[in-house]
Amino acid sequence: MANVRDDLIALRVGTAQWLTDAGLADLMLFLGSHPGAIDEVVLFTSFTHPPLPLEVMAPRASRLAQVLPQIRAAGYQVGVNVLSSMGHHEENLPHSLCAPWPLVTDPDGRVSRGSYCPASPELLDYVRTVYTLVAQAGPDFVWVDDDVRLMGHMPVSATCFCEGCVARFGARHHVDFTRASLVAAMQGEPNACRAAWRARWLQYNRDTIAGLLRVAAAATHAVRPEVPVGFMTGDRFYEGYAFAEWAAALAGPDSAPVRWRPGGGFYSDDAYMGLVDKAHDVGRQVSQLPDGIRPIQSEIENFPYQRLRKSVTVTLLETVAHMAAGATGPAYNIIGSNDPLGEYLPFLAGIDAARPFLAAVRRATAGSVPVGIWPAWNRDLFADPGSAGDWLRAHPGLEALRRPYVLGELGLPIAYGPAGRRITVWSGPVPAAFTTAEQLDMLSGGVLMDVGALRTLEAQGLGRYCGVQVAAEYAHDMSEVLSGHPLNADFGGWSRDCRQSFWPQVAYHLAATQAGVAELAHLVDYAQVSHGSCMTAFQNELGGRVVVAGYYPWTLIHNLAKSTQLKAVCYWLSGGTLPVWVESFARAPVWARRDPDGRLSVVLINASLDPVSPLVLRVAEAPAPVLHTELGGGTAFLHGEVAQNGGSRLSLPAVAPWSAHLLQWR
């Protein structure tokens, strides 16, 4: 099992398709209609989201022992997904586990009746029994679902502040806390004190998750030592993002193989760009995984599985975006429990037809990481050390982290970790998550930041490396006018009015504090009176290049002039190292990667209902043959032309709306 292919395509299957003989027969007919579409079948242990009583789990495990060999005999690997180890949230409570054990508890003492404290000895004993039963059924692999988390157990959010957790945390640090005094310690003053308690709480959360995973894996491996145990996650900032430690807990002392399923929320076609946003969630998660975790099957979920809410096209595009961001393949959760499976045959047909393209993407991206613009973050970001107030309910660091990903919509490549960084992007309090040495390292390269990040750096004594300070703030009636700087190309004098009266944000006049600061844009009011620079470029004493944006840096940037400026700015900040970006005025996210031999590959999606003809890429490479493969289409060789300022330009002659493309430099 350790040498299993990593591009496996999995189908997650509900209880309706395996608890009865009739349901299992329907499933086998469904799979048999396109026998090459799916490699693995994953059986959920339950339909609703709290843990099940052991008197229900035991007969289900016996049924699994009968069903698994039948699915395996049809040519599929088959595993079990324990849907609820500690419980997701309140649902079907009369028929779920009802035990007098601690429930997950929020800072105010409220609980979720469908979720148990993951650190309580009673729950851990229950987990040990459940995973023993599942392993005895004989699966090829076992999955721990994403209920094993500490944030978002409806109707509560941040947990677990039960009496046991408060006491265990206090004993670890030799403080006799109450729930109220613990929360006060993490919310109060001075900053250094609250930051220390927040960091300790994140470590406690990391250890809590690791403890439950260790129990689940040990119970599984005690029965079947060779069986991989996988874990499904989302962005786990509050839990401390300890993916390496959690993977080690799942591997156990004998280093058993470990799988991963990065996920997030994107369930319908209502807002197409959500598939790109989720791909960024997946990319962040993959960036934190240690080497050797395979397969990495991203969650593709169409809950609540109503066929017309999410199209086959979008489901497949989501798969491509996740693989471009780092997944090795998909895990589809796309079929309903009570609907005729014939409703979902178009999905199976689409997956079958897309397999060659998905295989090509996997081959092209294996052994590499996405390279480009890095919205900087680390696993301590949730601590928000600079923020006072209600830290557990308002998360300014996380909100700030997500803003700069909009640059990817313009056709600038996104990186998810420092290994792929060509420039750093900072917003708000994010810089405070890093040490001074790390901040200086980033400031010695290229950095794009907003005023929130500038002020964070100023508070740490690093403002001089940015070259400017805020001289004035304006809440009304300001527009941005691009200067005649070469980075603005032919758009000097162009004006961007983001309508502060409609979408309120503060506009900032940035005044130089160092020599050599260049103005990229300035503020004007409706009388065309200038109010000073609002976007600046500066080369600091470390040799770093820094651009500070003080006017709507992350919103309403989809104009031709502004998007062109931002592409030029990012290329300048990178020192010419950005591997590729979309030169055309198009909403076209790209993921750029280099294989171990240095060859470039690019995945591109036209994230628009409009065709683009042609779509032009600027490429750092010299002109070379490029193999172009389309999802649902053919292949062709393209050849770039020499670009005026170095590198090359590559034209895709016709790019259809919401289409996916793979480009491989030869």
CA torsion sign, 149 to 150 to 152 to 156?
positive
Q: 552 pLDDT exceeds 70?
A: yes
CATH class of the domain defined by 371-577: alpha beta
Strands 10-13 and 329-333: parallel
When mean pLDDT is compared across 137-141, 222-226, 386-390, 536-540, the lowest value belongs to 386-390
CA atoms of 514 and 314, how far apart (whole Å)? 49
Q: Which helix (H) or strand (E) holds 539?
A: strand 530-539
Confidence of residue 3 (pLDDT cuts 50, 70, 90): low
Q: 599 pLDDT exceeds 60?
A: yes
Q: 388 pLDDT exceeds 80?
A: no
Phi, psi dihedrals of residue 441, rounded to the nearest 5°: -60, -45
Q: What is the pLDDT of residue 54?
A: 98
In 106-190, alpha helices (H) = 121-136, 163-173, 179-187
**CB hemisphere CA count around 608 (13 angstroms):** 18
Q: What type of residue sits at position 189?
A: E
Q: 355 pLDDT exceeds 60?
A: yes
* 659 and 605 Cβ atoms separated by less than 8 Å: yes
DSSP 34-50: STTS-SEEEEES-SSSS
Strands 77-82 and 103-105: unpaired
Scored b (16 or more CB within 10 A) or e, 311-348 reads bbbbbbbbbbbbbbbbbbbbbbbbbbeeeebeebeebb
CA atoms of 149 and 90, how far apart (whole Å)? 15
Cα distances (Å, whole numbers) of residue 66 to 15, 69, 76, 385: 14, 6, 15, 53
* 276 and 322 Cβ atoms separated by less than 8 Å: no
Confidence of residue 471 (pLDDT cuts 50, 70, 90): very high
Domain boundaries, the chain: 10-356, 371-577, 582-665
Q: Could you tell me the CATH superfamily of domain 10-356? A: Glycosidases (3.20.20.80)
pLDDT 10s digits, 58-90 = 999 999 999 999 999 999 999 999 999 999 999
Q: 208 pLDDT exceeds 50?
A: yes
Residue 585: Cβ within 10 Å count: 17
Q: Which of 42, 63, 60, 41 is nearest to 51 (CA)?
A: 60
Q: What is the pLDDT of residue 191?
A: 77
Q: What is the mean pLDDT of residues 508-513?
A: 98
Q: What is the pLDDT of residue 361?
A: 97
Q: What is the pLDDT of residue 338?
A: 83
Cβ partners under 8 Å of residue 188, min gap 6: 194, 388
- Classified as helix, coil or strand, 271 is coil
Dihedral angle at the C-alpha atoms of 378, 383, 387, 392, nearest 10 degrees?
130
Q: What is the pLDDT of residue 2?
A: 42
In 403-466, alpha helices (H) = 436-443, 451-459
Q: 460 pLDDT exceeds 50?
A: yes
Average pLDDT, the chain: 96
Q: Which helix (H) or strand (E) holds 355?
A: helix 345-365
Task: Determine the length of the chain.
Answer: 666
Q: What is the pLDDT of residue 390?
A: 78
Q: What is the mean pLDDT of residues 86-107?
A: 97
Provide the CA 21 distance to its chain's centre, in angstroms. Answer: 38
Cα distances (Å, whole numbers) of residue 172 to 103, 136, 167, 177, 193: 21, 36, 9, 11, 17
Q: Which helix (H) or strand (E) holds 364?
A: helix 345-365
Q: Which of 375, 417, 422 is nearest to 398 (CA)?
A: 375
| Percent share of the chain, pLDDT over 70 | 99
Q: What is the topology classification, in CATH, of domain 582-665? A: Immunoglobulin-like (2.60.40)
Confidence of residue 595 (pLDDT cuts 50, 70, 90): confident
Confidence of residue 1 (pLDDT cuts 50, 70, 90): very low
Q: pTM for the complete prediction?
A: 0.97
Q: 188 pLDDT exceeds 70?
A: yes
CA atoms of 505 and 517, how far apart (whole Å)? 24
pLDDT 10s digits, 221-265 = 999 999 999 999 999 999 999 999 999 999 999 999 999 999 999
Scored b (16 or more CB within 10 A) or e, 254-289 reads eebbbbbbbbbebebbeebebbbbbbbbbbbbbbbb
Q: Which helix (H) or strand (E) holds 246?
A: helix 243-251
Residue with tokens 């700015």: 569
Scored b (16 or more CB within 10 A) or e, 219-238 reads bbbeebeebbbbbbbbbbbb
Q: Which of 365, 351, 352, 356 is nearest to 322 (CA)?
A: 365
Strands 297-301 and 329-333: parallel
Q: Which helix (H) or strand (E) holds 276?
A: helix 274-287
Question: Side by side, which strands form the sheet with 40-44?
Answer: 258-262, 229-233, 142-144, 77-82, 40-44, 10-13, 329-333, 297-301
Confidence of residue 5 (pLDDT cuts 50, 70, 90): confident
